[in-house]
């Protein structure tokens, strides 16, 4: 088990995705944020099946920074309930994991 998390967050557009990525990087809460453009999300919302074109953020950070990342996303995201899912990284290239820890 490591101290690293991969945090997923979908955004409605490229501008929102880039704004959040820059915020997290500037605050040094994340070491890297990948933006995967134009994903199709299908989901159930208020009893209906919906679909939307979104952008997915893959945020690499430490567990200690998760509360700050969650708060920043909630504060700056246009969705009332944004997707914020953190997955603990159990293994990875040790040098890369050390880089994440030293960068944040």
pLDDT digits (tens, 9 = 90+) for 19-74: 999 999 999 999 999 999 999 999 999 999 999 999 999 999 999 999 999 999 99
- Taking 90 as the threshold, does the pLDDT of residue 1 lie above it? no
pLDDT band at 6 (very low <50, low <70, confident <90, very high): very high
Strand 85-88 and strand 4-11: the pairing is antiparallel
Residue extents of the structural domains in the chain: 4-103
- Enter the CATH code of domain 4-103: 3.30.70.120
The CA distance from 72 to 95, in Å, is 28
């Amino acid at each position: 088990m490591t101290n690293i998390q991969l945090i997923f967050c979908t955004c409605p557009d490229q501008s929102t995705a880039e704004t959040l990525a820059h915020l997290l990087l500037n605050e040094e809460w994340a070491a890297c944020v990948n933006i995967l453009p134009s994903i199709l999300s299908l989901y159930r919302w208020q009893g209906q099946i919906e679909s939307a074109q979104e952008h997915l953020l893959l945020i690499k950070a430490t567990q200690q920074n998760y509360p700050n990342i969650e708060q920043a996303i909630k504060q700056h995201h246009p969705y009332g309930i944004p997707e914020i899912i953190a997955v603990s990284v159990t293994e990875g290239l040790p040098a890369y994991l050390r880089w994440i820890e030293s960068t944040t």
